[in-house]
Structure 1
Amino acid sequence: MKALPFPCIRPAQDRVLEALPAMGSILSGNKDPGAAYYVYECSGEPGRVTGVVAICPTSVLAGGKGDASADVAAAAHAIAELKVQPRPVSLSYEASPVMDIILGAAKEGASLYAVTDPAGITHRAWEVKREDAVGAIRAMLDQAPEPALTDDPAYAAALTGASQLLADETRAAGTYTGKEPFNFTVAVLFPAAQVSGAAPQVPTGLLTHQVARF
């Protein structure tokens, strides 16, 4: 599986509660200066799950293709206009026990956020940017098989649609290279053993990915 560190756009730590509900507030978030992985933990009913947030090629969203509904098309246009993916798409993968150890070590440090939503679910996130830790996570993800979509298929289809819209614009301008950020989607990768059915979702605006220049 290809899952890479990335420069995340996220709210300031002292503004996270006011930033999360509003899509527009994403644009006022901070863009981290370097690429990093992020560890995300969701705890509440029915338990606690931990995932790693990374960018993956949009091909991982293949299951979201083919939805041509008006709502999906509108969502795709909104994401393309915003130029930011509003939240990571939830995927599941077969994680090794070594990954559990690596992520557990990352969680021993201070978290970036610890936010409890109105439903009583607590969301925590940690940044992993130390070179050896980034290398260890990437090595584990490189060895993992391709992930499975565990999010709303309509959201995945909207992300695929937004990527295609931005690619079409870039091709029309004659500047397409294939390396543009819209060719990647930010995803939260949960161990398949921790989720059954639909996986948890990272709140909108918490950990986002810029897919085109503002």
Structure 2
Amino acid sequence: MAIVKPFQCVRPDEASAHLVAALPYDVYNRKEACEITAANPKSFLNIDRPETQFSDDVDTYDSRVYEKARELLNAWVSDGTLLKDNREAYYIYELVMNGRSQTGIVACSSIDDYAQGIIKKHENTREEKELDRICHVDRTDAQTGPIFLAYRSKKAINEIVERVTATKPLYDFTAEDGVSHKIWQVSDAETVSEIEQAFQGVPSTYIADGHHRAASAVKVGLKRRDENPGYTGEEPFNFFLSVLFPDEQLMIMPYNRVVKDLNGLSEEGYLKQVEEAFVVEAVGDDAYSPDTKGSFGMYLNKKWYRLTIKDSFISKDPVKGLDVSLLQDHLLNPVLGVKDPRIDKRIDFIGGIRGLKELEKRCGEDMTVAFSMYPTSIEELFQVADAGLLMPPKSTWFEPKLRSGLFIHPLTAF
């Protein structure tokens, strides 16, 4: 049973919500983050990426940087940019992108559910990325970026959401990227109880996006427990901020690949080796996006090809059978010599949101060959997580991205 709790939220005032709402902190590099915050002093990126408030000679992970995040958060609460709700509530959060909507429940999930595997993972995390968010959460005394969770759709929850979203929203705005955001507050005791009870029938939730934020929130919670040996388990630090979406509404975009060189092979020699595991077909000048599992687009020397994995290499294993694994195990590693895509500097990953033209562009700049992928499905993600396994890096790209700053979960009760 998944524990999904209402919480006392810190959130923007209605007039500022569209300015405060920011894409996740890890979408930007430092230069890009500085440009965003300079253009919009109310962007929550000022708090999520507080190094933007310093000159470039101050390290991103300097202690003063995290102290600045705390200072700004407190200042925004003091000047009324951020409001403190006086009671616990859930929130319903609808995002619409290119006419497709997904609607989730904003709530707090249990760090014990994470530790016990009720909240399931499908990716490894990197220690340095965890440490950054641990410092940020601990110093600000708040969780500022929600973790994107998925669950297998449940009729009772869908009916509650439909009822609430038929009323007037608390926030309603469209961001600069064209994604619209609507938010409803749910604080009446009857509906709160309905939501809590409905989630008692959900055996597991799954991290779709935000593995580092989740791991960091859990580690801060465990640290607070050590610091407060008399804790009851109900303190805010025992929970982390999340938005939970039913699987049927989610869209995963492909995570495409580009590689710097052909590993010393000629074009002819390379294609010959590729043909050992794939059927290779030239498709012309038009960018090719695969339309079935087991097929791949390849861009090489200004030409597009369709690659289809041969039947003898297909695997029923939940990880080895993923398209990202088939490409890695039968082409990137044995042919191009990319043995560990997590650390090899010859490979780069391009989110599907950037389109296939970005692959062509990169091959005209600093790369030689590109691969367009068929997207991993949400059911494949569930199967990997249910098996207690991990996906290869850069297997999924979720859109639209949740905004930070719309919901803040303080770790100390008001």
The equivalent position to 1:55 in structure 2, one of 103, 108, 120, is: 108
Structure 2 matches for 1:58-207, cutoff 5 A?
Answer: 58-62=111-115, 63=121, 67-171=125-229, 175-197=230-252, 198=398, 200-207=400-407
Measure the CA separation in 2 of the matches of 1:66 and 1:102.
Answer: 34
Measure the CA separation in 2 of the matches of 1:137 and 1:81.
Answer: 32
For residues 41-67 of structure 1, the C-alpha deviation after alignment (integer angstroms, 9 at most, x for no partner) is: 000136100011111102344538973
Deviates more, 1:21-30 or 1:177-186: 21-30
Q: Higher RCO, 1 or 2 (CA under 8 Å, sep at least 6)? A: 1
Partner AA of 2:215 in structure 1: A
Measure the CA separation in 1 of the matches of 2:123 and 2:220.
Answer: 12
Measure the CA separation in 1 of the matches of 2:234 and 2:157.
Answer: 28
Measure the CA separation in 2 of the matches of 1:199 and 1:161.
Answer: 27
- Assess, with a 3 A threshold, how the Cα gap between structure 1 residues 160 and 201 changes in structure 2: closer, same or farther: farther
- Assess, with a 3 A threshold, how the Cα gap between structure 1 residues 199 and 164 changes in structure 2: closer, same or farther: farther
Partner AA of 1:207 in structure 2: F
1:95–1:192 CA contact under 8 A, matched in 2? yes
Q: Compare CA radii of gyration and give the structure with the larger one.
A: 2
Aligned position for 1:209? 409
Partner AA of 1:193 in structure 2: E
SS at match of 2:15: helix
SS at match of 2:209: coil
2:5–2:108 CA contact under 8 A, matched in 1? yes
SS at match of 2:192: helix
Aligned position for 1:4? 5
Unpaired segments of 5 or more residues in structure 2? 22-42, 48-68, 116-120, 253-397
Measure the CA separation in 1 of the matches of 2:110 and 2:122.
Answer: 13
Pairwise CA distance, 1:202: 2.7
- Assess, with a 3 A threshold, how the Cα gap between structure 1 residues 103 and 81 changes in structure 2: closer, same or farther: same
Measure the CA separation in 2 of the matches of 1:165 and 1:114.
Answer: 37
Measure the CA separation in 2 of the matches of 1:146 and 1:64.
Answer: 13
- Percent identity, please: 26
1:16–1:206 CA contact under 8 A, matched in 2? yes
2:179–2:400 CA contact under 8 A, matched in 1? no
Measure the CA separation in 1 of the matches of 2:154 and 2:98.
Answer: 25
For residues 92-139 of structure 1, the C-alpha deviation after alignment (integer angstroms, 9 at most, x for no partner) is: 012322322211110121111112222111111100112222222222
Aligned position for 2:280? none
Measure the CA separation in 2 of the matches of 1:199 and 1:151.
Answer: 10
Measure the CA separation in 1 of the matches of 2:242 and 2:400.
Answer: 12
- Assess, with a 3 A threshold, how the Cα gap between structure 1 residues 158 and 64 changes in structure 2: closer, same or farther: farther
Aligned position for 1:38? 91
Measure the CA separation in 1 of the matches of 2:88 and 2:401.
Answer: 22
Pairwise CA distance, 1:11: 0.9
Partner AA of 1:206 in structure 2: L
- Assess, with a 3 A threshold, how the Cα gap between structure 1 residues 161 and 64 changes in structure 2: closer, same or farther: farther
Pairwise CA distance, 1:162: 2.5
Measure the CA separation in 1 of the matches of 2:113 and 2:251.
Answer: 19
SS at match of 2:181: strand
Partner AA of 1:16 in structure 2: A
Unpaired segments of 5 or more residues in structure 1? none
